[in-house]
Amino acid sequence: MLRCSKCNEKKTADNFYLNKAYPKRLHDYYCKICRNIANMPYTSEYRKSYYRNHPEYRKKVAETHRRFKERHPNYYKDYNRNWKAENREKRKISEQRYEQRHPEKRRAWERATRIPKDSECKNCGSTENLEHHHLDYENDVVVTLCSPCHIETHRARICV
């Protein structure tokens, strides 16, 4: 019988995790229940809910990412280029699966490449990073948006 340092209860050894960090002490000081409670702030579900419910934390994380991108402007571009080069087969399989699941989007993309883009974004009037946005995949109804407006449109799930 071992005593948990947290709840102060005596429990059998199978109620404790093995302690790999300290070979002299075979089991952890906390029972499994207390250890799981103590580790809760480090679980992905807890972090996701915290991120969702704390806008000031989201701003802090966004600021950290922005500063990282300023200091390392080509990091993500280089990482993605290397990953794509090393995983050609994975990408090919993934693209084939996407085309099988969404044939109408693939056909619409192919047709849209033949449609000339307008000279400016329909939302903000920007002339850089212009892309097609499909309002209707079947009838080739597309509008020209800049990349940030296109992302925001999909994020908000609204159409222009």
31 forms beta bridges with 16
40-80 pLDDT, tens digit per residue, is 888 888 888 888 899 999 899 999 999 999 999 999 999 99
Q: What is the pLDDT of residue 78?
A: 95
Q: What is the CA radius of gyration of the chain?
A: 26
Q: What is the pLDDT of residue 157?
A: 65
Residue 105 structure tokens: 């989007």
- Which region among 58-72, 75-89, 135-149 has the lowest average model confidence (pLDDT)? 135-149
Domain ranges of the chain: 2-42, 116-160
Three-state SS for 131?
strand
CB 11 within 8 A of CB 2: yes
Residue 121 structure tokens: 């974004």
- Which region among 12-16, 86-90, 110-114 has the lowest average model confidence (pLDDT)? 110-114
